[in-house]
Structure 1
Amino acid sequence: MRIGLFFGSFNPVHIGHLIIADTMATGTDLDQVWFVVSPQNPFKKNKNLLHEFDRLDMVERAIADNSKLKATDIEFSMPRPSYTIDTLVRLQEKYPAHQFKLIIGGDNLAQFPNWKNHEKILEYFGLYVYPRPNSDPSPLEQHPNVRFVQAPLLDISATFIRECLKANRSIRYIVPEVVGEMIIRRKFYL
């Protein structure tokens, strides 16, 4: 199978994530999209980060009705911070029959040369890139292993959702209903 890997902290998972994942899973040659829930992003320090198992639980609930989407906790047992190349190698070793592709936003493409072993990621895995607001141009746009995928231009951030919760504002329609209920019931981000 050809698997697209969608990395993120998903703190919380929201409809923007789900729309991109579904677009990749149904509008490309990918057979499935796996949400790789990252315990810690090497480029971010976030004191508002929920426990990784809570974030994984939210993702699993959000995608439960879609057989083309899956969540994985592969990074939970890896050294932290875990780097994308290390996770890709671990997944390839664990699932040698699968072909993995990395899904990133256009805003990350300009920064991609700063990633650990970015040349190896391009050579052995390749990128599926979706549009993001205010993306800077990148010299990698012409790379043969970079594929641009037409997708809705979404500007929804988990930070905005957390700010809404702290201000007691509605997050209805921004997160899946099951995720919103879980956040409220467990008093996440308050």
Structure 2
Amino acid sequence: MTLRPPLRIPGITEIPPSAPGMRIGLFGGSFNPIHDGHLLVMEETLRRLELDALWVLVTPGNPLKNNAGLPPLDTRVQAARARIAHPRIRVTGFEAAKGFTYSWQTIDFLTSTLPGRRFVWIMGADSLANFHRWQRWRDIAARVPIAVYVRPGAARRALASRAATMLDYAQIDEADAAILPLCAPPAWIYLQGRQSSLSSSAIRAAKDPN
């Protein structure tokens, strides 16, 4: 298991409170910066999956990307909290305190230490297109249901991706979104709906054209 040096920051790296039976969405990313497209996905998945809570997991860094110049964890967590007003959305950087590098580590830890919760992993369609490149992606799919939200220009690549093809048998109908948190994994859904063309990389490029 690859671990980073633990980084504990009071008020930043604590795990949000929960209770058995809760339906909890897990939405991870660097959030550099957080933007309206992220908020749209949060709002739509909260509503359509009938979640009790959604945890925004601000990662120490994406192992598939160049993290040079990534702002400090506490800066990104505080910025996300400042943008989010929904009472059922909690922002945390707890992965840093555990030294986690990969999403499967996060999911393995949460499902093992917080039994009885109905966790759902949430990702954009652009992430599904590359899901097969994630370390132990099959273990992720076998551990929690997955909700994939449409992203502009990513639908064809996502639905034709290696992961989508291999998990075709486990896809449930979009009309049954509310039952996804109750489904035994592997189970996943592709959600169509409101879209935003915003991306963190484009926002960063606009701020620093050089």
Same fold (TM over 0.5): yes
Aligned pair partner of 1:38 in 54, 59, 69? 59
Q: Give the equivalent residue in structure 2 for 1:175.
A: none
CA contact (8 A) 1:74 1:87 kept: no
What SS does structure 2 have at the residue aligned with 1:129?
strand
What SS does structure 2 have at the residue aligned with 1:147?
strand
CA contact (8 A) 1:20 1:151 kept: no
Cα RMSD (Å): 1.9
Structure 1 residue 142: deviation in Å? 4.4
Is it true that 1:165 corresponds to 2:207 in the alignment?
A: yes
Cα distance in 2 between the residues matched to 1:46 and 1:118: 21
Q: Deviations over 1:149-169 (max 9, x none)?
A: 2332222111222233336xx
Cα distance in 1 between the residues matched to 2:207 and 2:94: 29
Aligned pair partner of 1:84 in 85, 103, 109? 103
CA contact (8 A) 2:107 2:143 kept: no
Letter in 2 for 1:76: A
Letter in 2 for 1:68: R
Q: Give the equivalent residue in structure 2 for 1:71.
A: 91
Gap runs ≥5 in structure 2: 1-21, 172-186
Q: Deviations over 1:91-110 (max 9, x none)?
A: 22342231211111112223
Aligned pair partner of 2:194 in 133, 149, 152? 152
Cα distance in 2 between the residues matched to 1:5 and 1:166: 31
Runs of 4+ with >3 A deviation: none
CA contact (8 A) 1:3 1:98 kept: yes
Cα distance in 2 between the residues matched to 1:131 and 1:25: 15
Report the count of equivalent residues.
Answer: 166
Percent identical pairs in the alignment equals 32
Gap runs ≥5 in structure 1: 168-190
Q: Give the equivalent residue in structure 2 for 1:177.
A: none
